[in-house]
Structures are given as structure tokens and as C-alpha cells.
Structure 1
Amino acid sequence: MNETDAHRDGPYREGHPDWLRLNRANWDDRVRVHAASDFYDLSGFRAGGDTLRAFELAELGDVTGLRLLHLQCHMGQDTLSWARRGAEVTGLDFSEKAISTARALAADVGLADRARFVVSDVYEAGAALGGERFDVVYTGIGALVWLPDLVRWARVVASLLDEGGALYLAEFHPLTDMLGDDGRTVERDYFEERGQVEDFAYTYTGGPELTETVSVEWFHPLGEVLTAISGAGLRVDFLHEHPFTLFQRYPVLERDEDGYHRFPPGQPGVPLMYSLRATKLGPAPDREPPAQ
């Protein structure tokens, strides 16, 4: 069985047949740009910076002594920020270059003894981690769009949690993918199932130009996310929709005193992010979720 076939367990969303290789090459290429960018500010992080958002800290709570796994961790700053708060952390990402950067960063900030980083596709995390289980699986902030199959993803998450452990997910709201550049006009189908092949010369941090420019993304409605999670045997404890996002997604948004971007007062808003926590109560049921 090849890598592409291995991901067809569940309602696979069609995209480019070589999506995994394309996305890995694209993210490998982004690392050199991101590591040098002001957006990621690695020098500031080495000096004690923190990359976690206030709502994440409030919702997940005290992580002291907990075993926390961060899926799709990129260069590891969020992972290491949880370690600074007392968690024993593992970061996992399919980009070897990103993981190399994360390991070096952990050593630079004196956390190499409490933070390990593993190279793996998220769908193969169970094998890569040798069956280990965790108190918390943390993920999000632009992660789910890179995954074609959320049923398989949720099953992987459930298999990585101890009973009583929790998934904590913070993500951009799928409604934001519907809207055009003005933040008002609906331009994209909320229920689009096909993978979107993109070709951009630059990553979101700006230049320099990439050499691996093609990627494949999938849009996941909120109902799909919740159905996949509950179908994997996790109880959703809360779902919070937030009226802010982390960057200037649309020109109309205004930056508030906390650094979030919101629609201006007096203008109708839509949810721009969401966060949820789901707890593993017992073995995952041996059934497929109902068709959407």
C-alpha cells in the first residue's frame, strides 16, 4: 500500500493524487523563509517570547506535568511555549527541515530535556510514536486545511490519548474561507469537497520567493469536524466561536488592544476562529459516522 492509498480510510476528499509529496515539499521550502521572518521572530522567542494565545491558555488551563503532543507543530514554537508552562511535550510534523529547526530551538532555549520532536505524517503518528499515549493532543491554527480525511485524523487523535485525556483544537473558522477579500461577499462554496490545488510564489510571511510553490488544501465545514471527533469516541466538552482572528484577513478588520483582528464596532461580524476541547471517555466505536 502506498502513502496515498493509506489515506483513503473514510470519506476521502478528492485532490491532486500526489498531494502528500507536494505539500511536504512546499512546507520544507517554507522553513527557510519562516525561520528568517519577523512573523515567526525566532530571536524574540529565544529571548523568552511566547506564541500561545490568551484564549488557548484560559481554555486548556494548567498543563504542569501533563504529557502534551502537538500535531503539525511546524518549527515548534507553540510546542515549546507549552513546555515553558510545565508540560512534557512532543512535537510532530511531516517536514524534516521544520523538525530540525524545532530541535535546535529547543536546545537554544534550554528545553531539550523536556521537548522532543518527531518527523512523521500526522496519519502515521501512532506508528512513529510507538503506541505512546498522551494527556493532551494539541493542534490547529491552520492545520486541518492540509488534511483530506478528518475521520482518519480523529481516529489517530483518539488512539494517541489516554482515557480521560483531551484533544484541544484552535482553528480558523471555515466561514472565513467562503468570503472574498472584502470580508463580506460570499465567493466560495461552504460544502466544497474537492482539494484545491494552489500555486503561490510566496508564503504568508512574505518573501523571498519559494521554489516549491504548489500545495493542495481542503475546506472542512464545522459539522464535519465535530462529526469526525465524536465518531472517534471523543466527547465534545465545548465549542467556542470567536469574533476575532490572528491577522489582517480582510481590510475591514481592526486590530484591538490584545493584538486580535475584529470587525469594527457597528458592523455585522461572523465567527473568524473557533476552539474546542474533546475528552476521551473510552474505546472508539467501531462504526462510520453518518454521511453528511
Structure 2
Amino acid sequence: MGDDDIDYNIVFPETLISERHWRGTKEPIVILLGWAGCRDKHLVKYSSVYTQQGCITLRYTAPLKTVFISESFGYKELKHTAFKLLETLYDYEVENNPIIFHVFSNGGFMLYRYIVELLQRDQQFSNLCVLGAVVDSAPGSANVKGALRALRTTLGPNINVFLRYLLMALFAVTVVLIRIVLYPITKYFHKNHYDALMDRPAPWPQLYLYSRADPVIRYTDVERMVSVLQGKNLSVQSFDFVTPGHVSLFRDFPEDYSRRCLDFLNSCMTNSEGTKLKKRLVIQN
């Protein structure tokens, strides 16, 4: 279901399941941000991992044009999308629930970048409680070859061959010109998602899951991001699955992937409860 501007799906767990897992505390809401070209049916298998643990899940994938066109030309259409997505939490009266993000590829990471900026700078969302973020197969930086592979996969085999190569050529020229050649100048008007979240990262714990065999996102980009954030004394974990292709970690290693995500979720919730307890003790004393 969705509103006039964005098409999302939200799922609430059964009350008994939620109570069994969270025992009277507010169940977390997991916001899943899909990769470019991702269909909702692809995100369902990920969200089911969380709903089986009594979590609320909100699934959303940004339209292709905002990922491949708007962002490439520096038009911040995704910022409006991020605003509407956060407003959805108030529409369903879950703004007081703890929040976990699960972000896929650069398509999800681009949107996540604006969500992080709003949470850091917009007073309207200052009461939202984000506990952490899982990042799957992202982020990548200035990888034209990887971006072209992603675009080719997204366009699919049914599009006219001439049109497909024309679109890919136009996209490549645009990316190289604006995002590489002119980037030393254009970055002052519109930083890319990679640099933006490296310079002003999210303060909550983060888990990066990736594969060195990924043909779209270079594993060195992910590892560089992790290293920089750890250097800023942030709580950042990572794991290299080594062999899977792009956003195929769960498909190839479903049990290990699910376990790592749920362990991270439970760790974030436990740390949050510990922090609340410390605050209560300070107030009492």
C-alpha cells in the first residue's frame, strides 16, 4: 500500500509473535530500501526474516529514474522521497518504535543518504530512535563499469537493443562528465552518496555485508568506507561472503545471512535497553 507520492509496503507482525520476542517493549520497525530495479517480491524474503522475529517491516524501492537520472544530474529528488518515507512512520503511529535500516546496493544507499541527513538536521524527525543499519552490497564510489552493469541488468533483455545501448552510452557520458571529470567542482553543489556519508556518517551502529566477487560494487569501496568510519570511532562491523554476485548474499548463504542480521538487530536492541537503564539510574540518583 502507499500514498499519493511513494509506493511502499508495511507489514505488522502478529501480536503474539511480537509479544513473545519483545516482551512488552516496543517492537522494532525495520525499513528495507531496495536496490535499483528491485521489485517488492524480492524484498519480501528479506522482510520475512524480521517479521518472524516480531518486527514491523516497511519496504520501499526508489524509482529507476531517481537513481540513474536525478542523482546523476545532481537533482535531489530522493531527498523529497526520504522526507515522505519518514513521515509514513507518523501516519502509522510507530514513530516511537526503535528503527533499523536494511539498505541494498547504491540504489538503496542513495536514498539512505538523504534519510541520514534529515535525521541529523531536521527538527521534525529529532524524536525518531534509530538503533542501527545493515548495508548489503554497498556503497560503491565512481565505478562507471559497475554502474553500467547495474543499468544493463535493470533494463532487462526485452528492451530494444539499439535503445539499450543508446541509454547506456548517454548514462556513461553523463556519469563520467559530471561525477568524475567535473566532480571537483560539482561536489560543492551536490556530493555523491559515498562522500556525503563518509564526511558526515550516521552515528548509530552499522553492519556492512558484501562480497569481493561482486561485479557491480567494488569490495575495496566497501572496505574503505568501513575503515574510515571505524577511524571515526563509530561502531561498524563488516563481513565478506567472498563468492556471491551482486545482492546475492542472502540467496547463496540464507542461514548465515539471516543469523548475522538478527544478531545485529538483537545487539542493537540490547544496547538500547542498557542505555535507557543507565539514563533511568542517573535520573533516580
Instruction: Say yes or no: TM over 0.5.
Output: no
TM-score (structure 2 length as normaliser): 0.38
The structure with higher relative contact order (CA 8 Å, sep 6+) is 1
Structure with greater strand percent: 1
Structure with greater helix percent: 2
TM-score (structure 1 length as normaliser): 0.37
